[in-house]
Amino acid sequence: MTSCNRQPSPLSGKSETIEVVQKVTPSKLDNTIDQIIFGVYCGECGNHCATMYRYSMGGNQNSFSADFTDSYFNKSEIIFNTYFNDKYHFDIGHDIASHIPVELLTLSKSSERFGCPDCTDGCGIYFEITKANTKQKFYIDFQTSQLTGEIKNFADYLKTKIAQLGKKNSF
């Protein structure tokens, strides 16, 4: 996954731009992760405002499911009632789990916000890690220009993966 930033070209005095490409480096998969939940939510939206995905890693019994019901906004458990049992979804889930930034894996808080998720109708990225029955919830600004470092790169990466799932799962 790459993210692009436009910068003035140092090679000429003109208003040219060059593209700086940053690579999201896979981290080693943390084998203590039981599941991840991720998706995009938009508070000011008319229809289909919070699609969430869950990738569960239980030994050799992995599962991938989705919630297309907007249950995220009900302030209770997200309802995952659509199941996918194919390599495409499992590969994306495993890939995301392998790219979780060390900053998130080592954070001791149970909840953290990065940027201003869903402010000014800008949507937010929801990311949850469950390890040994302990949940950590992260709310990340969808407008990643205000984010920095690993979190910005991971948010851009997640947006790409979620968009891929959205295209694959459009009904």
- Tens of pLDDT, residue by residue over 99-124, are 999 999 989 999 999 998 878 777 88
Q: The domain 28-168 is classified under which CATH number: 3.30.1560, 1.10.10, 1.50.10, 3.40.50?
A: 3.30.1560
What's residue 54's pLDDT? 95
pLDDT, mean of residues 53-60? 87
HEC letters along 56-92: EEECCEEEEEEECCCHHHHCCCCCCCEEECCHHHHHH
Of residues 166 and 30, the one with the higher pLDDT is 166
Query: Phi and psi for 169 in degrees, rounded to 5?
Result: -100, 10
pLDDT at position 48, please? 73
Q: What is the pLDDT of residue 123?
A: 87
The stretch 63-74 carries a mean pLDDT of: 85
Q: What is the pLDDT of residues 115-150, one digit of tens each?
A: 988 787 778 899 999 998 899 999 999 988 889 999
